Structure 1
Amino acid sequence: MARKSRKQPVTETVVSTPVETGLYRTAAYLRLSSDDRRKQGDSLETQRNIIERYIAASPDLQLVECYADNDKTGTNFNRPAFQQMMVDIEAGKINCIIVKDLSRFGRNAIDAGYYLEKYLPAKGVRFIAVNDSHDSLTSDGGIMLPIKNILAESYALDIGRKCKAVQHQKMLDGKFLGNYAPYGYLKSPSDSGKLVIDPEIAPIVQQIFTWGADGETYNEIARRLHEHQIPTPSYHKRSKGLIKSEAIVGNGHWTRRTLSDMLADPVYVGHMVQGKMSVVAGRSVRVPSDQWITVPNTHEGLVSQELFDRVGRQMKRLAQQFTAKGTPAIPYSENLFRGKIYCAHCGGLMHRKRQNKDGTYWFRCETQQKYGKQACEVVSIREQDILNVLMVMLHQQNKLMTGHYQSLLRQHDTISEDTALVATRKDITQTKHLIQSLYENLVNDIITPEEYSQMKADYTEKLSQLTEQAGNIQEAKQQRRQTVEHYQTLTDAVTKTLADRKLTALLVEHPCRPH
């Protein structure tokens, strides 16, 4: 069953006029999907004209609002204008919906059936599909209504399969299907599936490949680009008006991922590689590399195959050197401060590094290394220095912790809590008996109906208060018990840490401070 969105959708509204008594407050609903744009008979203007002519010939209909979902699929009902129409139905603003045909209403047989056969009749809303000659006021739809919904859904599925087949064939033909051309290229004005060189960016891409072929690392290349104030691909596209959403622009920093993807992309040699992702059950999943669609020589390359291969060899060599260099002489120790140490200058997360395989660890800010000298200062701190400071703090807090724990034990009076809970539950039982006896008193004419109603309301209110009170006592008892257990665990951990002079993950994750 489709759910109504809580978001405020956008609707196309017609100026409302007062509705005379006896007239149906009518909503015209229009929908156009991207596939429908190629069909003249389904344009929004055509739909509106058909509906307006029908209303003009129907004296019992008066148009109140017009809701238009443009470029929205009919396979689901999560459409802004449709959801606003449902909101207005709930508010009693409209009691009739008119569409050009059933396919404009929706192409999902199950959800369409729910709205047409359950929801709208329950709300007393009349439904008219002009071209399908359906009017819920004069016809129950019979067997044809669900059949037409199924046909509409089948049509949508068939269109979807055909679109996928067309896209697959375009990939095989070497046509570019992405929303944005790769960095360094533009879509041809005469053929959006053809890539042409962007003369403004091409020299930058060629320089990046030259640096890579010379053996420079990703971080070194990124630092060079920042020093030359070269905008990232997403920032460049935004400056050209191609990207308008700030959510996908990023922070403007060149990253290892951006450069590694670029230097390994055959598109810069002139080959088209597509079909790397696929949609399965509504989710994007990565396709194995042996199933990618590769078409050679589809456009002019920015670099030679020889340069591209040399970059690949250099990146592989650097990766092997990094792996060999990073082979530990002894196992790495646990990083207790993962994700917890930040640079005081730039606010960036500091990374843990081991020095000379001797077990000495440092936390260093890598912002300057990644983005250039102007991005931050050289900041580092030895892990043992952090541990020493924390041990001193634990010594200072140990007495406070022990005192607070003893105080909690004294406050944790389970006897008084249990007594209060028993008394409250006793009052609940007595109140329930009083409510049950009221009816007998009413039948035996001991109390009047008015007295019965008033007394029952009073006892019911008292019962509700007592039930809430019992719940509060039980919850407070549980919370105090958990707090005592928490401090007992922390106190034991602090005592062991001070004895062993070894910090534990428990104390790092659960600071020793009163609740």
Structure 2
Amino acid sequence: MLEKYAQENGFKNTRVFIDDGWSGTNFARPAFTEIMELAEKGLIGTLIVKDHSRLGRNRLIVGQLLEEGFDNLGVRYIAIMDNIDTAKGISQIVPMQDLFNEWHAQNTSQKVRNVFKSKGMSGAPLTTNPPFGYLKDPEDKNSWIVDEDAAKIVRQIFAWCVDGLGPTQIAKRRKAAKVPTPTEHWLSIGRNCSKPPAVSYNWCSATVADILSKQEYCGDTVDFRSTTKSFKNKKKIERPPEEWKIFKDMHPAIIDREVFDLVQELRKHRRRPAKNGIVSPFSGVLYCADCGEKLYYSFSNNSKREQAYFFCSSYRKNSDICSAHYIREKVVEQLVLESMQRIMLNVQVFEKEFACKQMACYTEEKKKQLASKRRELEKAQKRIAEIDILIQKIYEDNASGKLSDERYMTLSTSYEEEQQTLKAAVPEMQAYLETETDKTVNLQQFIRKVKKITELKVLTPELIHEFVEKIVVYAPKYLDGKRIQIVDIHYSGVGILDELTPEEMEESFQKSIAERKKTETA
């Protein structure tokens, strides 16, 4: 149609520009960009389109082009079906056409969003391509199957993270081993993606971190991770996790859910290697009992692992703030190993008595914690109300001349800052009181995990990160020339555990024998 129109109306030296598959709201589309570049060079005399909507569906940009842009560039604009020709002037109805064209784009965009929303709410993945480690099922485009070659790499990355390595260290290992990056792997299996990387096997920490964060590896579909600003602005916006829609067990899992949860917890407490590149499995887990800061991992001058130790980070910055709380890594390892071995014995031999003791201790301890938190909340709420009264009083004193303007501003600013801090803390305290987890459930889960361990002779990083939440180290004391140091081990989900005493074990053992004899007699 365009070529026939040009020929019949004497337009020579014609060329066709096509932007097939591009939205009319996007004015960065390739052919349109080329048209404008040629127009700025004075190489375009007339621009002819089938109908006005082909120019674009953004009334502001189209209006500016018709009123100023094309005129300044010396370009005549013709829309055949809408009878628009800038050489004859622009009708007042054209802006209304632009508005309707934009509404059409907006309406189409909303329909597409509704289709995606419906698809996403059904549990079907919204991603165009599955993540590294999966392939689309040839028999069902909405299902994923495991890409075993890539899945092996994913499993190794998660295993190294559990062992204590960070994304940068993992990326260096992948690069040194000349393992293909996700893009290189996809290109090797014929998947359409970006250009091949300039440097082969060039793994980066961001790629590793992205793999470690994907819940899809547990077998879940995660939809609505992102959106766009509007039908005009297609810039990607990441949604907060609470707005995601998660459908569990929708495809084969590559990573166990427990391992994934463990890695996410480890990633919250990122561990930096010492100067010699070694990362302790206890890094990020040890805390100072006095100042609450983490303990740094370090080596003495000979850099031998046997001499590695932890000390308070506050003390490192300023020795006047706190003491060193020095403790050797091998001592921590021995204490945790022995504690876990005793707990295993408690669970495997005296499970009922062990569980009852934890619940009895928990009840009293938790009551104290909750009572303390309630008092703290009440105190904060009371102080917030008091500050309102104080601010009103100093305002009245300032108005009556009893308080200078300078003094009023100082007091007012101080009171407002204190009130804002308290108001920010109140929701956290309320959430803690409302959502405090029942320890019965956590204890049952903990016991189930312990019972899976048949024998414990050596601590592995995986065991440490799975079972230990934090270790609190107290400052050493000296008694009769001996150095004594208290260490509290907080286990994941259950806190400090009260082990059975030898007397309690003996009592339980004798009770068990008595019950067995009674049963045999009966």
Bin of the TM-score, shorter chain as denominator length: 0.3 to 0.5
Relative to the length of structure 1, the TM-score reads 0.47
TM normalised by structure 2 equals 0.46
